[in-house]
Amino acid sequence: MSELRDECGVAAIYHLAGRGPSPLCVDCTPDTVSRFMPRMLLDIQNRGQLAAGISSFNSHRKTLIDTYKDVGTVCEVFKMNHRAPYLALMEAYDGRAAIGHVRYATCGADDRGYAQPFERPHIKKHKWFSFAFNGQLANYKELQAELLADGNNHLARETDTEVFMHQISQALSSDKQPPLIDVMRRIGEKFDGAYSFVFLDALGDMIVARDPLGIKPLCYAVEGPLFAAASESVALMNLGFTPESIKPVPPGQAIVISNDQLDILPFAPSPRKAHCFFEWVYFANVASTLDNRSVYLTRKALGEELARLETVEIDEDTVVVPVPDTSKAAADAMAYALKIPCVEGLIRNRYTGRTFIEASGDRKRKAETKYTPLREVLEGKRVILVEDSIVRATTLKVLLERIRQTGLPREIHVRVACPPIVSPCFYGIDMSTVGELFAAQFMQDGPLTAEIEAKMASRLGADSLRYLPLESVERAIGLTPGNLCQACITGTYPTPCGQQLAHLALENDRNNIAGRTYEAVGGARQLLLRQGN
């Protein structure tokens, strides 16, 4: 799974006046709470390493809203390893409110101009704003075409973030300041897709909102005068918020802060939920809790499911080996249930970064440098190699070759703590074409069978391969299928535009049309849109 990429992570922090001192902020003043933002972004760095940025609000500063962002990791962007430049940056961007973002791109270029937050200055303070979001608009191309239908309009970037910005601007276009919840209601009517959203304007007002399906995670906490929100709970825990104070933002609702008043208000109907199951399987930090479900306990339960289904002969030379790091909880639990050792037969180079969120390059070469097999641990063993999922299989194939050549095991049996990924994602994960998906190449004519798994194992260079069934994932997370987005493993999408793009992806695959599906133009897309598929 290390070749997979997620869209981003968001964070927000606010000092609410008139609520007394905060035990979380004994060393800060109200106008310096923005200094917490880099620390929060570090805790969600797993969601994007391409770029990072913040926007802060300070009524005592000429630039009421000021944004700092660049390409690189959080430490690189904020110069956290160099005390003097870091402190100078923090002082320059001091504020009582701030929003932040870490990025990996599913659309758009890999340069500073695409980094978030996006700021839009304006002479009217309620129209001067900055925002960031995690997710992806499935109807991005339709919204883009609608904007460009006016010949006087021009878009400078090829990204849904810019389209998002102009939708906000249109909702604020009246000279009369609208209530922020009305802004959310207006843009919510137009969006199809996933968006966990943070917004800050030059009046010092803030919005933290989550799409009606709750596809991407978002949580918040309030203790005393300090409000904070982030894509994952670990960012709030590490600020000092108690677990009891951390809550998920309800889908279809917005937290609005205006004049130091905090309200949680609905902006769109939320008749069902579609939480991305991949967050628990792979993307989220193992220390996080998402929608009241522990990521660690979910991965532990997935390992127990793998053990329950295991049929390979177990002897004294059988060991379980996780593919570091997201598979470790599942591997540990599987080994414990089978009463065999779980050993670190693969050592990960901690300084290569996570290849799934790197911008570009040769995945094969990166995989070769990322893991070192330990012959002392693997030689002569029957290895049960636990992987969290298989998407393109590029990394896994290289890894199996290295284990065979360097580790000299007797056998390698691959166990995947996830069902086969057979359909693209259009909600923020960078797998938008059918042709890039390993399992889809084998399952075009029907469901997964033992014979198909044997063919897959042969292609990978493993002695055997087994995926978890769909119901195992649902049991492990503890949510019913009606509350999960499992489109990439079922082919059934929770939004109309997502389903349209899935049809287009299949059409593009049949016609050998390359490129990300949501960036496709021309006949196939227009035909599908006319048919209303």
Q: Encoding tokens for residue 280?
A: 């628990």
Q: What are phi and psi of 24, to 5 degrees?
A: -80, -10
Question: At CB < 8 A and 24+ separation, what contacts does 335-341 make?
Answer: 335/303, 335/307, 337/303, 337/304, 337/307, 337/308, 338/307, 338/310, 338/314, 339/314, 340/314
Instruction: Give the list of residues 6+ apart from residue 456 with CB closer than 8 angstroms, or none.
Output: 438, 439, 442, 465
CB-based burial label for 190 (10 Å; 0-12, 13-18, 19+): middle
Q: Whole-model pTM above 0.75? A: yes
On the question of pLDDT at 362 being above 90, the answer is no
On the question of pLDDT at 5 being above 60, the answer is no
At 365-393, the pLDDT tens digits run 666 778 999 999 999 999 999 999 999 99
On the question of pLDDT at 531 being above 60, the answer is no
Q: Encoding tokens for residue 357?
A: 């969120």
On the question of pLDDT at 33 being above 90, the answer is yes
Instruction: Give the list of residues 6+ apart from residue 83 with CB closer than 8 angstroms, or none.
Output: none
Confidence of residue 109 (pLDDT cuts 50, 70, 90): low
∠ CA 352-396-49, rounded to 5°: 30
Give the mean model confidence (pLDDT) for residues 87-112.
Answer: 85
- Mean pLDDT lowest among 69-78, 158-167, 365-374, 477-486: 365-374
438 vs 527, residue with greater confidence: 438
Q: How far is it, in rounded angstroms, from Cα 475 to Cα 469?
A: 10
| Cis previous bond, 362, omega within 30 | no
488, containing H or E segment: helix 487-490
At 430-467, the pLDDT tens digits run 888 899 999 999 998 889 999 999 999 999 999 999 99
On the question of pLDDT at 81 being above 90, the answer is yes
Q: Domain 293-494 class?
A: alpha beta
160 vs 355, residue with greater confidence: 160
Question: At CB < 8 A and 24+ separation, what contacts does 71-79 make?
Answer: 71/110, 71/111, 71/112, 71/115, 73/45, 73/49, 73/353, 74/38, 74/41, 74/42, 74/45, 74/102, 75/42, 77/51, 77/52, 77/53, 78/38, 78/52
At 244-270, the pLDDT tens digits run 999 999 999 999 999 999 999 999 999
On the question of pLDDT at 2 being above 70, the answer is no
Residue 7: predicted pLDDT: 64
Alpha helix (H) ranges present in 310-393? 328-338, 363-370, 375-378
Q: Are strands 8-15 and 226-230 parallel, antiparallel or unpaired?
A: antiparallel
From its phi and psi, is residue 491 left (phi > 0), alpha (psi between -120 and 50) or beta? left
Q: What is the percent of the chain where pLDDT is above 90?
A: 80
At 261-310, the pLDDT tens digits run 999 999 999 999 999 999 999 999 999 999 999 999 999 999 999 999 99
Q: Which SS3 state, helix, strand or coil, does residue 180 take? A: helix
DSSP 47-97: G--SEEEEEEE-TTSSSSEEEEEEES-HHHHTTTTSHHHHHHHHHHT--SE
Confidence of residue 356 (pLDDT cuts 50, 70, 90): very low
Which CA distances in Å does 286 have to 45, 158, 210, 406? 13, 33, 22, 30
Q: Per residue in 453-484, is it b (16+ CB within 10 Å) or e — as a string?
A: beebbeebbbbbbbbbebebbbbbbebeeebb
Residue with structure tokens 């991949």? 278
Homologous superfamily (CATH) for 8-134+193-271: Aminohydrolase, N-terminal nucleophile (Ntn) domain (3.60.20.10)
Per domain, the residue ranges of the chain are: 8-134+193-271, 293-494
Confidence of residue 350 (pLDDT cuts 50, 70, 90): confident
At 174-220, the pLDDT tens digits run 889 999 999 999 999 999 999 999 999 999 999 999 999 999 999 99
- SS3 string, 288-306, reads CEECCEEHHHHHHHHHHHH
8 is catalytic: yes
On the question of pLDDT at 25 being above 90, the answer is no
Q: How far is it, in rounded angstroms, from Cα 330 to Cα 307?
A: 10
Give the mean model confidence (pLDDT) for residues 89-105.
Answer: 93
Query: Of 8, 418, 425, 485, which residue is the catalytic one?
Result: 8
Q: What is the percent of the chain where pLDDT is above 70?
A: 91
Q: Which SS3 state, helix, strand or coil, does residue 395 take? A: helix
Instruction: Give the list of residues 6+ apart from residue 220 with CB closer than 8 angstroms, or none.
Output: 208, 227, 228, 229, 230, 236, 246, 247, 249, 255
